[in-house]
Structure 1
Amino acid sequence: MIRFVRISIFALMASIIISGCSKETSEDSGESTGLSIEYEKITLDNGLEVVFHQDHSDPVVAVALTFHVGSAREKPGKTGFAHLFEHLFFLESENLGKGGLDKMSSRIGGSGANGSTSRDRTNYFQTVPKDALEKMIWAEADKVGYFINTVTDEVLTKEKQVVKNEKRQSNDNRPYGHTNYVITKNLYPEGHPYSWEVIGTLEDLQQSTLADVKEFHKKYYGPNNATLVIAGDFNLEDAKALVHKYFDEIPSGEPVESLPVMPVELPETRRLYHEDNFARLPELNMVWPAVELYHPDSYALSILSELLTTGKDAPFYKVLVEEKQLTSDVSMYDYTSEIAGEMRLQVRAYPGVDLDTVEAAVWEALRRFETEGFNEADLDRIKAGIETNYYNGLSSVLGKAFQLAQYNIFAGDPGYINEDIKKTLAVTVEDVKRVYQKYLRDKNYVVTSFVPKGTAGLALAESTLAEVIEEQIVESGEGETFETPGESSYERTASSFDRTVEPPYGESAEVVVPDVWQTELSNGMKILGIQSDELPLVQFVIDIKGGMLLEDPSRTGVSNMLAEMLTKGTAGKTPLELEQAIDALGARINIYASAQHISVSGTTLSRNYAATMELVEEMLMEPRWDSTEFVLTKQEILSQIEQSKGNPNALAGEVFRKLIYRDNILASNSVGTIQSVQEISMDDLKDYYERNFTPNLANMHVVGSLGQNEIVAQLDGLQERWVPKDVDFPDVLNASQPASSKVYFYDVPGAKQSVLYFGYLAMPETDPDYYPATVMNYILGGGGFASRFTQELREGKGYTYGIGSGFEGDALPGPFRIFSGVRTNVTYESSALVKQILEDYPETFSEEDLENTKSYYLKSNARAFETAGAKLNMLQKLSEYGWDASYIKDREQAVKDISIEEIRELAKKYANPNNMYYVVVGDAATQMEKLKDLGFGEPVLIRDLESIPVGEMQ
């Protein structure tokens, strides 16, 4: 599920020309933005609305099909149906057969067919090489008109288990996972379409029948309730002809009436609390009823939420973070949906903080907002970044497709982007003050306190225990077992032509490697760039080698804290002044640390690149070393570490990392430990900076609409001021597999799922076997729905919502890792099935598997350089490994040459189940003992991260 949020757009002045009643075209004059956006919309006789947008910059096409149906169309007691259909549509259709679009995607080089469901819509989307456009239109038409007959009782029973696993993973087995359930249940009156969650309840899912599902489909999934968007590199007339060919004969569905707007009024403030089994920090949520999507007041409410929380001068930051030091962050947003909306405020406090203190601070911040107010400059600060955000939203053809669909469905016109932005930019100081008075001041609200288990005293006073339904762990439950669906027998829907024949590929989509320029400054910093004129943006990343590798192993977290501190002002600018200078440019500058680097990343409008780089230079060369910010940063990191202790996925990663890296510093978390962070002083940061911050270990990567000369000309200051120095690095890490497998079980009592991390330390990306091994892994676990793991554990057994595997090396050896979250009562069965798949894989890898693997890797290269992020990733590989840009072509040839015998040998060598660490995070009382049957001896029980038996890791 992906929450639907209105996208703010800056100055896209679109004019609409209507020709007849079924065809619309739009072209942006480009006068405001310098960017031309064109689209054309047609409406078929059956009601399907189709929007076309051509973009020939990359040989790819995005196809997005959106139905105007979400959980709001469901009925109490029959919830979760829209989300269930998000799943069902991928399983089978009459003419694509079992596996449907997922199976085809694995062959055609698609981005991985996916979908999302909100309260108000369900969408299905994928980006493919342009030669697969007809295949995608054929497949989407099969989804609309030739699908429902394939849904049988067996199929429904299996997919219920998958959805239930998704709910466990997304809600039941993670910190604060029940928050939204409590809020919606208490904010909206019983029976309101938003009073239940999008995913539904486990009980409703279990009780749903095939007749219920088919009735829901008949009502809402006709072409007259759908929008199809095709965006990318295609011929417009050809695409129209294909749409008519495959969609015209699909009959219209039942008329779907629009839901009326249903605003909410709370008769009283409702205060609820819940003791969360996974939470380690107390969290406060305050939610006020607000307005629906595109309501005139929604624009001012959105800006109000940012004025209250965004930036160091915002009242919530000043009171809760800076002055009272109750939390490291306060977030607030205007959550608008089709028929109602809400203003949400969230504060995750520091450990042990009483939430009554937090609520009092919230009211103090709001009173300060009322008395001190804000001005036009504050509004300008909020609006300055909107233009950059707008362009970022257009960086991929899929982003453009989403945008066009959104406006077409909820505003009835793709061209509404014009009105939307005009209303955003027209918001005044008076508008914001007015909506504050109308929707927040002295208004009733829902407030929730989610506190760690056993700390009910931290919840707000006079709170009522929230009703939260938690699933009980049982060894077998009603409806948890089923027969794997076999070949379905059903009546085929008539068609005027043979739809069982998959369309041929179109014009070949050859990958074009971008031209890369390289240079080196006199101080040793290397610059690599790609000029891309699609958008008036520049994106950059400066990677400085070092990171945690250069830390004292007894005091980890120094580089992470240093990176944070470099963003907290400069010698000549206070933290607030630096923030305001960045915001005034509409730029984004982040500095962060990882195991092997400290990195500076940024995005800016091309016209502001020079000014942005002046700020980057100042941040790197003139640290402020602000003592107040040092205290706040340390508190934030300590809170982050504490919070991660309640996340089963984070715990699995921690245990796995300690096992595979053993006594190497990389076994540590790069943010540090509670003890190490507490001991870090400002002198530690200064010492690391003086010893290790050097340009001869720095590589700058730039993608944008400026050329090499313009990029390099703005680096004179860094070249002159940043002096190179020698830095000693620790010994290179050696990869190794354990001589025999062992199970390590981290106990989380009451866990609703078990998290699985299986694997070992493999090899660096520079190893000759790395890419061939990655190719080998595609059918095993790297290919999503094409993989054995997914087909057998999810599609075959319903044990999991998702499972995958992959190699993660870079310049140093990295792990091969198999990862999943599985239903608690099938922890052993899932682990044993993974082991069996690994054992069987070398001998069962077939010629068909090889053909699908090659087809995917060769065709997916068409998508390799579509976005600025993808181009930056390529440049980082070139600088880190010393490769030439032609490595993409070398990899293409490697795929063409690889044989089935090589795949089998690679599988035996790098995916051997008898040479791995098996990490399980779950409920030890009910699940650990059974894992002895894997044949790897007695499982090792781990109760905390400090008790991992290092001696057994050798």
Structure 2
Amino acid sequence: MKLSYPIFATILGAMLFLASACSSSSETDFSVEYEKFTLDNGLEVIFHKDDSDPVTAVALTFHVGSARELPGRTGFAHLFEHLLFLESENLGRGGLDQMSARIGGSGANGSTSRDRTNYFQTVPNDALEKMIWAEADKMGYFINTVNEMVLEKEKQVVKNEKRQGVDNAPYGHTGYVIGKNLYPEEHPYNWQVIGSLNDLQAATLDDVVNFYNTWYVPNNATLVIAGDFDSEQAREWVQKYFDEIPAGEEIEPLEKQPAVLDETKRVYHEDNYSRLPELRLTWPGVENYSDDSYALQILTQLLSDGRTAPLYEVLVEEKELTSGANMYSSNSELAGEITVQVRGYSGVNLNDALAGVEEAFARYEENGFTEQDLQRAKAGIETRFYSGLSSVLGKAFQLAQYNIFAGDPGYINQDIQKTLDVTLEDVDRVYQQYIKDKHYVATSFVPRGQTDLVLDESVEADIETEEIVQGAEGENFVLPEDTEYERTPSSFDRSEEPPYGPEPEITVPQVWTSELSNGMNVYGIENSELPLVQFNIRIDGGLMVEDPEKVGVSNLLADVMTRGTANKTPAELEEAIDLLGASINVSSGRQSFTISGNALARNYDETLDLVEEILLEPRWDEREFDLAKQSVLSRIAQQQSNPNSIATNEFNKLLYGEGHILSFSSLGTEESVESITLDDLKAYYETNISPSVANFHIAGSIDQGTATTSLSDLESQWEAKPVEIPDFDTPEPPEQSQVYFYDVPNASQSVLRIGYLAMPETDENYYPATVMNYILGGGGFASRLTQELREGKGYTYGIGSGFSGSNLPGPFSVGSGVRSNITFEALELIRDIMADYPDTFTEQDLDNTQSFLLKSNARAFETLGAKLGILQTMSANGWSADYINDQQDVVREMSREEISELARKYANPDRMYYVIVGDARTQLDRLRDLGYGDAVLLND
């Protein structure tokens, strides 16, 4: 993937009316409005109109993924996902990234799977022609720009991605081990999407050109445009820019190739980064849209999700081996897998975990499921269905998915109905057919030195680990400024970027507010686009009102509050929520304690009743408290082995100082959590949970009068009490920079955190400083940090910088993961970029910043989550809804001189903490050359 991006399995629809969740079968009266046409060169084009916001999503999907590769040449599809962003003949170097920096887009991005590669972005609708022009340039006017140096640099970026997501991550090699043992060597799913480091390095320019010419052709692609646009005009633009791109050779579809196991395989691996043992069992499953895929989805959900699920009952409650078991069915174009995942508590023998899984299956065989269990699962599907409609990009993804893999975007009508038509007999049938007494692949991943925990009769997995060799990949790699290439002929001049269309009308949502008699403030936005309501109650407190000796109390309280109420057992509470198709979560963070809900509008009142019960009638169950504590201790153990978590925790200690309450993780420490009692939770609840320091936020298909009336019980029954929120001293930035190093032996990457404690969001300079940071590190691929460290040097997969204050001062920080053997070079370059930034910021940089920040507001209010974010910012900072317009004025009035002044003050590299988590043996001593003295080793 180009950069981490949440790809939701969204489901598109214009109308949906489901029968009551109490019926045995749900029926849909359901239609989708879309337009599809095919160009003469084979490009399939789909339009979906949605004028609820002035934005348009453009998604170009090629029917090629790792399954189209060959053994020894793996990772090509994913490599191409990266290459296509770098340069094309008419966009020039930086391509879509540079354009996105001006047009207010969501950021050009992409992802690769086994079976497809997609490229996508949401833009203000005045930039639609620009996007169509750009996507056509990538398809037909790209390959000539790739040379040996371009290829070599991007290999380094992709290899860094593999190190970050696989080699340097706990349990990162699990997918590789399963693939090698589930599928034979010649099967397209035997290897991973990201490929191997050796295969990537061995790729030649001829390999790359041939792969592109075979697969990245119009007759192997689907273009989806979804959002607010004129269909007739868009069709003209599509034909103008795509028509003359020639079709490739005819592409034969691949045959379905389900996995077949003749024996059960047991494999283990000693994981350098894990602190807990993990067992995965993987059975051969079914491909996308197989009739059995729907029943398998529900079967795996019912076996593992919820307190009445057999896996939870046996593994969590009775045997106390884990905080939770996960089971799921994943489907791809050619085959699928069914997986059980159990991450045990520290020291758990995975033979016991396997015995627990088998006992849970036997319990299901004896007891089965009820119709109510089935309807609970379907009710959740209904809410997720609607939630998937909240963004035009999600709609575009799903239309392309159905078009490519089901052969028809309209298959969505059948897809939903097939899920809702699943019966208990179907569920039992697929259990008997795919799981009971069937062979599987069992992987045991255990901490290094704990092989006594692996399954009996397991053999060691064959995993290649990368040795850290200084200079092995050319630390001083430099991409030349310009490259020459032959230009592809065209019937018109494609080098001229299309103009903007009519400027979109950006309307800030109308916010209503009120105050209840018990002191709770209420903020709302009505939006009837979807029959959904999202809401939360945010109570000031969280970590910052805790005793430093009892850190983690509020986090444990949040967990316990969802484990039943005074009148409902944990299972009864969960069932009541599930039957509504709702979700209710309780969480605690650094500054707040939050209860949040998401529900269909018709079920909002009943969902809020359950929230009131959770809030006002805690169960205080000793047994559930013990289980919650075990779960938190496991999460803490996992953090201790994760380089990113280590970097964040060590950075916070430096920012605030040892012992400061905000220097701790909200989870607490092993010592503090062990010491916490149920009475501590009760004391926090009695002292700090009060409407006098609470705000209620609500957005969705509900008006002010209805929302306010719904809170009458909470207003009368939740009594206010005084709550003292402490004031904190704000540590000053360091007088001079200092380097700190946390040793993770043999780490293939170094995780970097650089920064200092800056200012609160309410400071008059906070938003101007965020504007200043856009070109430095806040603008994604438009930023200098990304352009120089990733695009210029290939040092990293991703890097960014930003401010994160609230109504308390928060840090300015730079964060990245870089390959180990250029740790010093990366830090030196980051330091120099920050030092040079005030004097090198140009008028063009200012124009790009202003253009992006002003135009991107067209996307700022699209989803209910975004609308809740507006309300939360208002309540946290005491602002009116006009703050959005005020910020736009700041952007318009910003000058280059002001940017430079802010950069000198707030991005001074000589007054920061430099935290590195990596391999001290090879990297520690080199860091004294940064000029900040000897690095301080944080662990022994």
What is the correspondence of 1:559-574 to structure 2 with a 5 Å cutoff? Answer: 559-574=554-569
- Work out which of the residue numbers 430, 439, 457 in structure 1 matches 2:425: 430
TM-score when normalising by structure 2: 0.97
Is 1:245 aligned to 2:226, yes or no?
no
SS in 1 for 2:291: coil
Is 1:708 aligned to 2:704, yes or no?
yes
Is 1:912 aligned to 2:905, yes or no?
no
Return the offset for 1:848.
Answer: 1.0
* CA distance in 1: counterparts of 2:509 and 2:700, whole angstroms: 12
- Work out which of the residue numbers 209, 231, 240 in structure 2 matches 1:214: 209
Q: Which residue of 1 aligns with 2:744?
A: 748
- Work out which of the residue numbers 109, 117, 127 in structure 2 matches 1:114: 109
| 8 Å Cα contact 1:231/1:397 also seen in 2 | yes
Is 1:77 aligned to 2:58, yes or no?
no
Is 1:400 aligned to 2:395, yes or no?
yes
Q: What is the identity percentage for the equivalent residue pairs of Structure 1 and Structure 2?
A: 63
Q: Which residue of 1 aligns with 2:317?
A: 322
Return the offset for 1:479.
Answer: 6.5
CA RMSD of aligned residues (A): 1.6
Q: Which residue of 2 aligns with 1:886?
A: 882
Deviation by residue 1:23-68 (Cα, 9 ceiling, x = unmatched): xxxxxxxx97798742111111111111111111111111000000
Q: Which residue of 2 aligns with 1:23?
A: none
Q: Which residue of 2 aligns with 1:300?
A: 295
AA in 1 matched with 2:847: E
Q: Assess, with a 3 A threshold, how the Cα gap between structure 1 residues 392 and 739 changes in structure 2: closer, same or farther.
A: same
AA in 2 matched with 1:604: A
Is 1:467 aligned to 2:462, yes or no?
yes
SS in 2 for 1:554: helix
- Work out which of the residue numbers 136, 140, 144 in structure 2 matches 1:141: 136
SS in 2 for 1:403: helix
Q: Assess, with a 3 A threshold, how the Cα gap between structure 1 residues 374 and 230 changes in structure 2: closer, same or farther.
A: same
| 8 Å Cα contact 1:524/1:696 also seen in 2 | yes
Q: Which residue of 1 aligns with 2:23?
A: none
| 8 Å Cα contact 2:179/2:191 also seen in 1 | yes
Deviation by residue 1:370-415 (Cα, 9 ceiling, x = unmatched): 1111121111111111111011111001011111111011101110
SS in 2 for 1:391: helix
Q: Which residue of 1 aligns with 2:520?
A: 525
| 8 Å Cα contact 2:475/2:822 also seen in 1 | no
| 8 Å Cα contact 1:808/1:815 also seen in 2 | yes
Deviation by residue 1:450-475 (Cα, 9 ceiling, x = unmatched): 00011111111110000011100110
Q: Assess, with a 3 A threshold, how the Cα gap between structure 1 residues 8 and 838 changes in structure 2: closer, same or farther.
A: closer
| 8 Å Cα contact 1:63/1:231 also seen in 2 | yes
* CA distance in 2: counterparts of 1:10 and 1:766, whole angstroms: 40
* CA distance in 1: counterparts of 2:709 and 2:590, whole angstroms: 31
Moved more, 36-45 or 879-888: 36-45
Is 1:875 aligned to 2:867, yes or no?
no
Q: Which residue of 1 aligns with 2:510?
A: 515
Return the offset for 1:736.
Answer: 2.2
SS in 1 for 2:317: helix
SS in 1 for 2:708: helix
Is 1:131 aligned to 2:131, yes or no?
no
Return the offset for 1:10.
Answer: 9.7
* CA distance in 2: counterparts of 1:13 and 1:37, whole angstroms: 7
Q: Which residue of 1 aligns with 2:547?
A: 552
* CA distance in 1: counterparts of 2:842 and 2:712, whole angstroms: 57
SS in 2 for 1:110: coil
Return the offset for 1:9.
Answer: 5.2
Q: Which residue of 2 aligns with 1:895?
A: 891
* CA distance in 1: counterparts of 2:30 and 2:811, whole angstroms: 43
| 8 Å Cα contact 2:756/2:912 also seen in 1 | yes
Deviation by residue 1:504-552 (Cα, 9 ceiling, x = unmatched): 0001023211000101111011110000011000001110001111111
Q: Which residue of 2 aligns with 1:353?
A: 348
AA in 2 matched with 1:427: V
* CA distance in 1: counterparts of 2:474 and 2:209, whole angstroms: 20
* CA distance in 1: counterparts of 2:555 and 2:807, whole angstroms: 20
Q: Assess, with a 3 A threshold, how the Cα gap between structure 1 residues 363 and 480 changes in structure 2: closer, same or farther.
A: farther
Deviation by residue 1:537-590 (Cα, 9 ceiling, x = unmatched): 000111000111111111100001111111111100000000000001000000
AA in 2 matched with 1:215: N
| 8 Å Cα contact 2:16/2:31 also seen in 1 | no
Return the offset for 1:732.
Answer: 3.4
* CA distance in 1: counterparts of 2:728 and 2:491, whole angstroms: 65
* CA distance in 2: counterparts of 1:128 and 1:786, whole angstroms: 15
TM-score when normalising by structure 1: 0.96
What is the correspondence of 1:467-546 to structure 2 with a 5 Å cutoff? Answer: 467-477=462-472, 482-546=477-541
| 8 Å Cα contact 2:12/2:389 also seen in 1 | no
Moved more, 732-741 or 151-160: 732-741
* CA distance in 2: counterparts of 1:143 and 1:162, whole angstroms: 20
Q: Which residue of 2 aligns with 1:816?
A: 812
Return the offset for 1:938.
Answer: 1.1
Q: Assess, with a 3 A threshold, how the Cα gap between structure 1 residues 143 and 876 changes in structure 2: closer, same or farther.
A: same
AA in 1 matched with 2:277: P
* CA distance in 2: counterparts of 1:286 and 1:560, whole angstroms: 31
- Work out which of the residue numbers 371, 379, 396 in structure 1 matches 2:374: 379
Q: Which residue of 1 aligns with 2:21?
A: none
SS in 1 for 2:750: strand
Q: Which residue of 1 aligns with 2:406?
A: 411
Q: Which residue of 1 aligns with 2:589?
A: 594
Return the offset for 1:6.
Answer: 9.6
| 8 Å Cα contact 1:90/1:101 also seen in 2 | yes
Q: Which residue of 2 aligns with 1:18?
A: none
Deviation by residue 1:190-225 (Cα, 9 ceiling, x = unmatched): 110000000000000000000000111111010110
AA in 1 matched with 2:669: T
AA in 1 matched with 2:749: Q
| 8 Å Cα contact 2:762/2:807 also seen in 1 | yes
- Work out which of the residue numbers 788, 794, 799 in structure 1 matches 2:784: 788
* CA distance in 1: counterparts of 2:12 and 2:312, whole angstroms: 26
| 8 Å Cα contact 1:8/1:386 also seen in 2 | no
Is 1:99 aligned to 2:99, yes or no?
no
Q: Which residue of 1 aligns with 2:22?
A: none
Is 1:857 aligned to 2:848, yes or no?
no
* CA distance in 2: counterparts of 1:677 and 1:467, whole angstroms: 38
Q: Which residue of 2 aligns with 1:262?
A: 257
Is 1:578 aligned to 2:573, yes or no?
yes
AA in 2 matched with 1:774: T
Deviation by residue 1:623-665 (Cα, 9 ceiling, x = unmatched): 0011111010000000000111110000000000010011421
* CA distance in 2: counterparts of 1:9 and 1:162, whole angstroms: 33
Q: Which residue of 1 aligns with 2:286?
A: 291
* CA distance in 2: counterparts of 1:36 and 1:88, whole angstroms: 38
AA in 1 matched with 2:583: R
Return the offset for 1:483.
Answer: 3.4
Deviation by residue 1:259-304 (Cα, 9 ceiling, x = unmatched): 0001111111110000000000000010000111111111111111
AA in 1 matched with 2:146: V
